[in-house]
Chain A
């Protein structure tokens, strides 16, 4: 499938800021499931710093904008050819040892009801069926409700609330997988929304679990499926904070208003 992505992030500052520095995970890497045909990231008034591919195989690019500015636009436009590999991440070059993904993070701490939820996988015959079982359990435990949670809501809090968005599903799945000693990571990316609006967000997130013999396999508990040709993978981390497509810091005292629009379209050319 050919996917066209148009992703615009606009920062407005109530008082001009003296400067902005950002770290981007906004460029998909090419692997067996996705091939980047064309990709462009622009930052209004920005100077690109050194870019590199990190140990997890993600492209990281630094940017800086000299102030004073009161508005910054980060625009991502590109075309990616995708292939359905039933969630398996194949041909992705990376060097971080999988055991490093057994660690907890602040947002995925195995607190509250997560321990009990994780027990569902105890009887599973192998790790793959345990992973599917866990993903299904997370889908059932948390109802998709936009606005029910915030960016810094933890996995345990979202589970307790019983509602959340893709970020919460992915956090909870990471937490319960690690509780079963299955290495797990949070993945951010794009998703082609279907006509019925069942697939929820264009700027999306899911989890990857390590399955011996297969390697990293994606599980999208929010949509009760594994990533297929509708998904574009941007980057990963222990949780949403680490895998964020944009991390930034403005030298200012005022506040910032964020405005994001993402469009993902399928095309024939």
Chain B
């Protein structure tokens, strides 16, 4: 398999990487080692630890930081920017629709059972329209690149995508260690993110809010793998970081306990799952949430971001229909492509999958964390044949995708610099307006040949540059 190298085209350096090529040449090995140690010490001192949503692993582990930036040209980003915003609009339109009239289902474009019987579909919010009609206020879209102009969306994260702190810290780190790089090259800044996030959250304050909206971040607590990020964002935005026990319902509103007495809260950026938000509406045993919160929310006394129920849009089975959502709601062709997906439930697709098992990745529809899947090119004949029987037994439980040839970017490794595979997670903000800072979180598979960028499997992060025009 051949991979698209984002820095080199045959022996030529691609223009966006010209500056970095010189930088790399000029850097002596001992300086590189010294800088890398410096970066690690800085990360440790500020205490940044990190786990990407849903990956598990040790929450206090430091994620490796790679100093070699990943670069997009202005034109490349312009296309990504349009594609990401388009997708974020379509996903929100879908959510408004399926909790309202369900037009896309009535039109037969998405099967009803996929949506209405989905675990993430919340009957409790049917018929309720959140402020500005926004359900997913922070949309994290995982993208891989396979060629000069080929980008594919791997998955959407509509609930509470994490990792944005790493985008901001990586940039901060690079600017501190290599200020010259940022003088020589004009790179689009990402440091407006927290301003935009605060503005986005305030823009969806409920109608009953009087004056400047009070925003809080609701965290499950310090044992959560993304707790660092919760406190980091609260600090940057200048808002309170609270746990469920810091909030209470009185009458038609939610208040936070403060040293100066109760203070009304208008917008809650929650980093806890729907099921734990309110024991009077969802799981009765939840200790993380706020009793009565959902009644206040549904009677317009407070806004919750992301809106309860938003998860039905980022389900693995629903994912295959996102291009259809773009066409249905926006009347546009999708700018970003989905990874082609064959549904074994459909006869023609099943035939194709069974004939090409050796080249495909086959996943369980509701599986996660890499369990119960077949990676064709990395499996033995026996494994493939065993899996074939599993598929035949229950075809509708499986989908298949081609093995993607993720692009590589140069990465510092022990022997010097070598190509490693990367993906990208940008964070799109949706409120009164749709905003996207030029950049995102680039994850890199540090092990040679590995296509798995997950932090639990030896993945690291690097700064992501978008060159100014």
CB within 8 Å of A: which B99-132 residues: 99-100, 102, 105, 112-113, 116-117, 119, 121, 123-128
**Which residues of the partner chain B approach A49 to less than 8 Å between Cβ atoms?**
249, 251-253, 292, 295-296, 299, 301
**Which residues of the partner chain A approach B113 to less than 8 Å between Cβ atoms?**
99, 102
Q: Is A266 an interface residue (CB 8 A)?
A: no
Bound Cα distance from A216 to B301, whole angstroms: 32
Given contacts A55-B126, A97-B116, A248-B280, contact A23 B292 (CB under 8 A): yes
Q: Is A11 an interface residue (CB 8 A)?
A: no
Q: Is A60 an interface residue (CB 8 A)?
A: yes
A64 touches B128 (CB 8 A): no
B116 touches A100 (CB 8 A): yes
B209 CB → nearest A CB, Å: 13
Given contacts A21-B249, A22-B280, contact A51 B126 (CB under 8 A): no
B249 touches A52 (CB 8 A): no
**Which residues of the partner chain A approach B377 to less than 8 Å between Cβ atoms?**
none
* Chain B interface bracket (under 10, 10 to 19, 20 to 34, 35 or more): 35 or more
Bound Cα distance from A238 to B124, whole angstroms: 11
B127 touches A55 (CB 8 A): yes
Q: Is B323 an interface residue (CB 8 A)?
A: no
Q: Is A90 an interface residue (CB 8 A)?
A: no
A62 touches B126 (CB 8 A): no
Smallest CB gap from B248: residue in A: A19
CB within 8 Å of B: which A84-113 residues: 95-97, 99-100, 102-103
B125 touches A100 (CB 8 A): no
Given contacts A47-B250, A50-B301, A62-B299, contact A99 B116 (CB under 8 A): yes
Contact string, A1-42, partner B, CB cutoff 8 A, digits 1/0? 000000000000000000101110000000000000000000
**Which residues of the partner chain B approach A238 to less than 8 Å between Cβ atoms?**
123
Given contacts A102-B117, A249-B279, contact A52 B292 (CB under 8 A): no
**Which residues of the partner chain B approach A241 to less than 8 Å between Cβ atoms?**
284
Q: Is B300 an interface residue (CB 8 A)?
A: yes
Chief secondary structure at chain A's binding surface: strand
Q: Is B52 an interface residue (CB 8 A)?
A: no
A64 touches B251 (CB 8 A): yes
Bound Cα distance from A122 to B121, whole angstroms: 29
Smallest CB gap from A241: residue in B: B284
Q: Is A247 an interface residue (CB 8 A)?
A: yes
Q: Is A161 an interface residue (CB 8 A)?
A: no
B126 touches A54 (CB 8 A): yes
A10 CB → nearest B CB, Å: 19
Q: Is A120 an interface residue (CB 8 A)?
A: no
Smallest CB gap from B279: residue in A: A249
- Contact for A52 among B119, B248, B298, CB less than 8 A: B298
B126 touches A56 (CB 8 A): yes
B117 touches A100 (CB 8 A): yes
B117 touches A62 (CB 8 A): no
Contact string, A60-96, partner B, CB cutoff 8 A, digits 1/0? 1110101000000000000000000000000000011
With a 10 A CB-CB cut-off, give which of B128, B249, B284, B300 has the most chain A CB atoms: B249
B284 touches A50 (CB 8 A): no
CB within 8 Å of A: which B208-259 residues: 248-253
B273 CB → nearest A CB, Å: 17
Q: Is A260 an interface residue (CB 8 A)?
A: no
Bound Cα distance from A48 to B248, whole angstroms: 14
A240 CB → nearest B CB, Å: 12
Q: Is B311 an interface residue (CB 8 A)?
A: no
**Which residues of the partner chain A approach B281 to less than 8 Å between Cβ atoms?**
23, 247
B388 CB → nearest A CB, Å: 29
**Which residues of the partner chain B approach A64 to less than 8 Å between Cβ atoms?**
249-251, 292
Bound Cα distance from A100 to B312, whole angstroms: 13
Q: Is B291 an interface residue (CB 8 A)?
A: yes
With a 10 A CB-CB cut-off, give which of B102, B250, B301 has the most chain A CB atoms: B250
Smallest CB gap from A46: residue in B: B251
- Contact for B299 among A51, A55, A97, A248, CB less than 8 A: A51
A247 touches B123 (CB 8 A): no
**Which residues of the partner chain B approach A50 to less than 8 Å between Cβ atoms?**
252, 295-296, 298-301
**Which residues of the partner chain A approach B295 to less than 8 Å between Cβ atoms?**
23, 49-50, 52, 60-62
Smallest CB gap from B106: residue in A: A97
A24 CB → nearest B CB, Å: 9
A55 touches B252 (CB 8 A): no
Bound Cα distance from A61 to B296, whole angstroms: 9
Smallest CB gap from A49: residue in B: B252
Smallest CB gap from B111: residue in A: A99
**Which residues of the partner chain B approach A62 to less than 8 Å between Cβ atoms?**
249, 252, 292, 295-296, 299
Q: Which 6 A-B pairs have the closest CB atoms?
A: A50-B299, A55-B126, A62-B295, A249-B291, A99-B116, A55-B127
Could you show 17 A-B contacts with beta carbons less than 8 Å apart? A21-B280, A49-B251, A49-B252, A50-B298, A51-B299, A52-B298, A54-B126, A54-B128, A54-B298, A55-B123, A55-B128, A60-B295, A99-B117, A100-B121, A103-B117, A241-B284, A249-B280
Besides A103-B117, A238-B123, A247-B280, 12 other CB < 8 A contacts? A21-B291, A23-B294, A54-B124, A55-B124, A55-B125, A62-B296, A64-B249, A95-B100, A96-B123, A97-B116, A102-B117, A249-B292
